[in-house]
Amino acid sequence: MPFKLQQRTLSAYDPLVRPKGDIRAKPIPTPPNRSPHLLALHASSYALLGPESPKRGVIAHLAGGTTIIATRCEATKRLSVADVDSGGNHDFSSYSKQFGWLAEDKCPAMEIVFIHSPSCPPPLAALQPTLRALAEPLGVSLSFSTQELPSGISLQIDRNTSTITSLNLAPGTVMDDPIATVESHAQWKVQTRRSCLTPFQTDICKVLDGGKIPIWEQFDGKQLAPLPTLSDTARTTLKILTEGQMAQTGSGSRKAAPQGSAIMLTLPQGRVDRRDPKNFVLSPMEQLQMGAMRVVSLGAACVVCGETEGISKCASCEWEPYCGSRCQKQDWPAHKGWCKKNRRSSKP
């Protein structure tokens, strides 16, 4: 079944929108004023949805310079949706796992659609052979199509019907899907942390670490996936900034910074865009710094699952927070090298 495109205008009362300028005192609305059956997809991330998945669709945003890639297997009725950089700067090796999950050993063919703005087409000449090479060991053939849509538009991609719905907003409203699609305040806090960590780690890859940017799993078909794995550079950056915040506030704990605190006031200011004086332009390093400060302002949480209650520090480096041994073991392969370099324990 080929992907189909349609349009829908969201009313001012739709759970996915809110009035412009409206900031809710309580972040999570009560049913029926939310849409937990949908998933708000983050940048540099992908989601897997199947017939038994609690999520029935994905909300994605076609920001400037991004491409939305939707892949569907008709035989298994499974769908994957990814938000990637249009410049081809991502590591697409995760598609080997995606194709394996989509095929489930009984899918001879898949359809892939690249959704992008007219000004930022993806490098299809290089990307299509890469994806075909990843699908070939599974005996899966791929067919490709493209769809151009205006930059800044929001999309709803349904897992059952292969329908891509372009969402038009009623006057005086903005999208509110990060809040409308979560099921609890605890889940909202984790998703807020993910929405800060993902672009921060992406900027670390671009500016400091170099190399291709991972496409992180956000939803594994059944539940939310672990938070993006931080590189050594990212861990060091957050540690330095957090220690700076603690020194400024005179606090010995890594609590979330209130709005207006010193850590929030030191955000880079950027420069005025001469083409549009209302906009400010940040250099890549300034953007990275701003992203890091946003993460630090959230306070300490388990680096794997985002839990903020009952966390404890790694005994060796006495820094990295975990909610328990399970998450600590899961993060150990990535944390091991950094931990040894930053060891504070007197134990051998």
Structural domains for the chain: 4-184 (3.30.1330), 300-348 (no CATH)
Beta partners for 5? 164
As a whole number, mean pLDDT of residues 73-89 equals: 93
As a whole number, mean pLDDT of residues 186-203 equals: 92
Q: What pLDDT does residue 268 have?
A: 45
- Where b means 16+ CB within 10 Å and e means fewer, 132-162 reads eebbeebebebeeeebebeeebbbbbbbeeb
The token duo for 43 is 């940048």
Mean pLDDT in the chain? 87
Residue 190's pLDDT band (boundaries 50, 70, 90)? very high
Name the more confident of 154 and 65: 154
Radius of gyration of the chain (CA): 21
* Largest pairwise CA distance in the chain: 64
Residue 254, pLDDT above cutoff 90: no
Residue 348, pLDDT above cutoff 70: no
The token duo for 110 is 């898949």
As a whole number, mean pLDDT of residues 211-218 equals: 94
The Cα 94–Cα 133 span in angstroms is: 13
Residue 345, pLDDT above cutoff 70: no
Query: What is the DSSP secondary-structure string of 212-240?
Result: PEE-EEEEESSSBPPPPPPPHHHHHHHHH
Lowest mean pLDDT among 123-132, 187-196, 262-271, 279-288: 262-271
* Highest mean predicted confidence (pLDDT) among 16-25, 126-135, 175-184, 276-285: 126-135
Residue 266's pLDDT band (boundaries 50, 70, 90)? very low
As a whole number, mean pLDDT of residues 80-106 equals: 94
